[in-house]
Amino acid sequence: MVARQAIGAILNAESSFQRPEAAESVQTISMPAVPEAERLDQTSWTDAFDQASVPISEVNDPGVERDGTGRALAWMKVNEDLGDPADPAAQLLHRSWLAYLSDDLPTESVIKAHPVAATAVEDRFFGASLDHTIWFHRPLRADRWHLYDFTCHHFIGGRGLSIGHVFAADGLHVATVSQEVLVRDREAR
């Protein structure tokens, strides 16, 4: 599918679907041990959802490592009841919200990977989402806390690739996200 506006194509979407079927369920990615969302500072910029950023110093699970650098973690949840996730229409709404929420941390992850990020002033970098891919592994409830855990896997020529895993509060891996991000250093010009 291609979505267009007056300036031309603004979205190319590719989707694949599968009917539910009985099969084994194997989870190979583990959720790190982090404080519960209620114990962290709330960092959301809107009333539509809550976000509680997890400081890297609070990640306390040496058995769970991630590839890449620039790790960014946050608990997120929508602030309205989205309905029974067993209802297909409600599940679509839950997944749509997860897609929206998953657009926040990849840019932070890529910026954190920049060599001068640790000493940079807050508005030094400009970031924009480029490509965004999501694999939904299981039904989910976006109106309940989920941990979003992202790291930057590549950064060159102003473009970084961030890979993230989304976990329900009980540790169930519900989605994987990849996003390419454009990051420009305003002081480098």
Distant-in-sequence, close-in-space partners of 71: CB < 8 Å, separation ≥ 6: 56, 59, 109, 112, 149, 150, 151
**Residue 99 within a domain:** yes
Q: Is the pLDDT of residue 95 over 70?
A: yes
102 has a pLDDT exceeding 90:
yes
The answer to the question of residue 153 being in a domain is yes
CATH number, domain with residue 79: 3.10.129.10
CA 104: distance to chain centroid? Answer: 6
What is the mean pLDDT of the segment spanning 48-65? 84
**pLDDT over 70, % of the chain:** 97
Q: Report yes or no on 22 lying in a domain.
A: no
**How far apart are alpha carbons 19 and 122 in whole angstroms?**
46
The reported pLDDT for the residue numbered 189 is: 65
1 in a structural domain: no
| DSSP helix/strand/coil, 82 | coil
Q: Is residue 109 part of a domain?
A: yes
Domain of 151? 37-185
pTM of the model: 0.87
Total tally of structural domains belonging to the chain: 1
Q: pLDDT tens, 111-151? A: 888 888 767 777 888 888 888 999 999 999 999 999 999 99
18 in a structural domain? no
Residues 151-185: tens digit of each pLDDT: 999 999 889 999 999 999 999 999 999 999 998 88
Cα–Cα dist 140/173, whole Å:
10
